Structure 1
């Protein structure tokens, strides 16, 4: 009978991530648009996946966009909806978004702050009312946004590296 094989960790395998999702330091929130911020939790530059918290501190339209991959979300605080659907995502609610669908994220007037966890596979493609592309985000552009913001607020551009895999 042979001895069981000893499995060693490969130096090529990135370490796990465990962080407090809601940061104590507000500088961790990266501004994305007026009243719209994200907090990175995972930015996978190999697979193109990223996980973050989206915080919106104003009502109204946040963005009109689509994704080539699936997106799942969990509402931590507040509420939001897509103009194209009848449902509203409330605190404690889970959302699944199929690939390719165009939707317009809106925070209602009676909501002063919304925080949602999103797990995004692939890109986020911003579109106008006719469905024409007007912007683009992916794991690499998110990484760049974080680097610039963290350098500007004194955390250091490399602060984001703890979330990169």
Structure 2
């Protein structure tokens, strides 16, 4: 029977060959220091709404980003094609269809197929949430009819155009793609 834990835990780095086609690690420093970040890294998504990319996984179909909203009211109504994980770093928000609130320090899991309308309440001057989104957001009308879609590829396109426009270069987005 194999041991349940490694037997050699000495401080010796792995020296074998790299596994085939494994991409480089990605480390984005200081992501939780949301007050001292280069403003150019926030990609405009809509009026008073930005995202800061952390990773775009094209092979797995997910993205992780910080979403920053500096307005109150309805942000969007959407359906999830895959699971979503959210950690609120600042402010609060909720879905009109649910009785829970995502508040600073909260974690929320949203299952595939969930349809909801995101609202940032009055009095919240800034909401920042770390979202890990697998699949797509399908923006829908009140009856659920699809109107638009957002996925890892559309997010890459927005980021690429933004980074080009502000002078970092379109290829700046490549550092987030795995």
TM-score by length of 1: 0.93
State the shift of 1:11 in Å. 6.1
5 Å-filtered alignment, 1:52-71, equals: 52-71=65-84
Can you list the C-alpha shifts for 1:94-142, whole angstroms capped at 9, x where unaligned? 0000110110010000100000000011111111111111110111111
SS in 2 for 1:99: coil
Aligned length: 161
What is the match of residue 18 of structure 2? Answer: 9
Does residue 1:36 correspond to 2:45, yes or no? no
What is the match of residue 129 of structure 1? Answer: 142
For 2:96 and 2:168, locate their aligned partners in 1 and report how far apart those are by CA, in whole Å.
Answer: 37
Unaligned runs of 5+ in 2: 1-14
5 Å-filtered alignment, 1:84-163, equals: 84-163=97-176
Report runs of 4+ in structure 1 exceeding 6 Å deviation: none
Does residue 1:26 correspond to 2:39, yes or no? yes
TM-score by length of 2: 0.87
Unaligned runs of 5+ in 1: 1-5
The two structures, once aligned, show a CA RMSD in angstroms of 1.4
